[in-house]
Amino acid sequence: MPLPRGLPVVDHHCHLSPAGEGLTAARRFAKAGGTHLFLATQNYGPQVPRSLEEYRTQFETTEALAQLIRSETPVEVHPVVAPYPIDLVGQAAALGVEAGLALQRSALDLAGAWVRERRAVALGEVGRAHFPVEPPIRAAIDEAFFHALEVARDADCPAVVHSEDLDAAGFGSLAELAGRAGLRAERVVKHYARSHVRPDERRGVAASYLARRDLVRATLGDGPSWFLETDFLDDPHRPGAVLDLATVPRRAAAVAEHEPDQAERLWVPFSESIERVYGFRPEVREGPR
């Protein structure tokens, strides 16, 4: 059975790199039936950025990749930019904790400006370390995260969060932190969610689930807001990690084929949740521009 007519097929979080597959991966995504990518920036060099200009160059590289994909494929691309929170570990070692934190804050302000200029749709990834770090660095990362939520508030955009996997209590803590920053919980997205948490337990925070078969099955009955993602890394040294870029359209096709009565539920992650969290409804276009 085909997918519902006009349904966008959206990978909510991926990375692409000029040193990786880049456009080739995007073409594979389109061939599998994908229509929209939320493209998160990443470090493209061997070391973490040590200046605001290096972050500006990083964001511009992400933007150039998005423009290339739009021009060469029918895929629409939505850039998501911010300094990666774990960069602060390397920056603290190279520059000192205070200087590293100041750089993070400046780069977050730059990301907010990009959103206001409509060069990006959200701040991301922002958040916390998912592994143990020294207390002074953890405190600096937490301070940068709170500033990120304030920037998202002021730019009126979502904050896409990197953190450890969260249970219901973790989602609640995230909602409370956003509230202290003045950002509505509905504008917060926990990316790379690997455990299904019911919408009523997430306190308004959206979940972007890794598109594993078990999570797709578990979430299909949920209302907004949730998404599916691959967190494709486009790393030549780790081909296919985390999931291949064609995974989300293949999962959608499998739902239509094996659970046709559930296919209409795909409007939730691919359209309704995007409209609720980002404020726009994705539209399917034909052919490259």
Q: What is the pLDDT of residues 137-169, one digit of tens each?
A: 999 999 999 999 999 999 999 999 999 999 999
Give me the residue spans of the domains in the chain. 10-278
> Torsions phi, psi of 177, nearest 5?
-65, -45
Q: What is the pLDDT of residues 78-110, one digit of tens each?
A: 999 999 999 999 999 999 999 999 999 999 999
Does residue 114 surpass a pLDDT of 90?
yes
Burial of 98 (C-beta count, 10 Å sphere; 0-12/13-18/19+): exposed
Q: How many CB atoms lie within 10 A of CB 45?
A: 11
d(C-alpha 63, C-alpha 176), whole Å: 32
131 compared with 166, residue with greater pLDDT: 166
Burial of 33 (C-beta count, 10 Å sphere; 0-12/13-18/19+): middle
Does residue 287 surpass a pLDDT of 70?
no
AA identity, residue 5: R
- pLDDT over 70, % of the chain: 99
The topology under which CATH files domain 10-278 is TIM Barrel (3.20.20)
Q: What is the pLDDT of residues 18-40, one digit of tens each?
A: 999 999 999 999 999 999 999 99
Q: What is the per-residue pLDDT for 289?
A: 39
Closest CA to 188 of 215, 243, 227: 227
Confidence bin at 237 (pLDDT 50/70/90):
confident
